[in-house]
Every structure is written in C-alpha cells, then in structure tokens.
Amino acid sequence: MFELYLLIFLLIIIVSIMIDTLKIGISPMPSNKSTAIEIVELLKKSENETIIDLGSGFGNLAIFIASNFPNKKVIAYELSFVPYIISVILKKVLKVNNLEIYKKDFLKEDLSNATLVCYLFPKGMEKLEDKLFDDSINTTIISSTFAFRHIKERKIINVDDIYKTPIYYYQT
C-alpha cells in the first residue's frame, strides 16, 4: 500500500512540473557546478548589496550564491511550485539565512538596485530585456547560456565544461 501512495505522490510531482513547464515555457534546469563557480567569480565585482536569481528552479544556484556572499541579501524568484517548495526546504535545512525565496513572477517585481543572475531561455530573455528597457533598470546582469537580443555584453566567459557553457556579463 505504501508503494501505491508513493507512486501517486511521484506522479503528482511529475504532472505538476509538466503543467508548470507548459505554462512557463521551460522546465527547471539546474546550473552545473563549474558554471556556478564562474558566476560567483563575476559576482565578486558587484558592489550591489542585493543579488537576485531570476527563475531559481530548485534553488541550487541561489543557495550557492548566498553561501558565498553571507553579507549580501540574495533573493530568488521561481514560478514552478515543486522547485519552489524544494528550494524553500533546502534553504531551511542548510540554514541559509541571507536568502529569500518567492513564488512570484520576477517580471512583476522591482529589480532595481540589485545584481541580476539568470539562466532563462530565449523567450524569457526577451521578456527580461523588455522589462529592463521599460523600467529603465541600470544594473549588472549575469546570464548563463542565453544572451539578450539588443543589449551588448561586456564579456563572454566560456566555462570549462563539456558544453563550453557561455556566461554573458552585462552592464546596462
């Protein structure tokens, strides 16, 4: 009987992730360790006291950033329910006190006065770019894998991993 309940529970989780994937346009994808390390190195240049992870998924990158910058405020936004819950649980278990996690659409939030970190998808990058222009947000943005259409990056770092993952560094 326990196996049946476990199977039902797992199916609910899978269906929830699938529904959110269809609504949002992408499934949650964790950043690999090499990419996270490169992002932290770039964040060391930031003078902002707040770092915002846009689309934080299961919270791996947000927790890694918060652990590396204990004196900075780290905010993570995630729309998908299951990854959000898992990231909240991980935050509590790991006692990451400088991290705030919200189940909100970051496009409806104030992103000014913070350094932005993202691993989105092409449509998500378009929407973020539009928001940056519409709200006249001038900040540092670090994007894993995907680039903006109209904002020119200051530099591109290719991570030493199997995919040579590009990280785009922007100063708008």
- Tokens 């400088």 correspond to 98
Q: Which two tokens stand for residue 49?
A: 């006291």
Q: What pLDDT, on the 0 to 100 scale, is given for residue 58?
A: 95
CATH of domain 29-171: 3.40.50.150
Domain ranges for the chain, please list them: 29-171
Q: What pLDDT, on the 0 to 100 scale, is given for residue 136?
A: 86
Q: What pLDDT, on the 0 to 100 scale, is given for residue 134?
A: 86
Output DSSP code: residue 107.
G
pLDDT in tens, the chain (172 residues): 888 888 888 888 888 888 877 777 777 878 889 999 999 999 998 889 999 999 999 999 999 999 999 999 999 999 999 999 999 999 999 999 999 999 999 999 999 999 999 999 999 999 999 999 888 888 999 999 999 999 999 999 999 999 899 999 998 7
Q: What pLDDT, on the 0 to 100 scale, is given for residue 159?
A: 95
Q: Give the integer Cα–Cα distance in Å for 53 and 31.
A: 12
3-state secondary structure 36-78: HHHHHHHHCCCCCCEEEEECCCCCHHHHHHHHHCCCCEEEEEC
Q: Spell 78-113 as b/e; 16+ CB within 10 A means b.
A: bbbebbbbbbbebbeeeebeebbbeeeebbeeebee
Provide the whole-model pTM: 0.90
Q: Count Cβ atoms within 10 A of the Cβ of residue 141 and give its class: 0-12 exposed, 13-18 middle, 19 or more buried.
A: buried
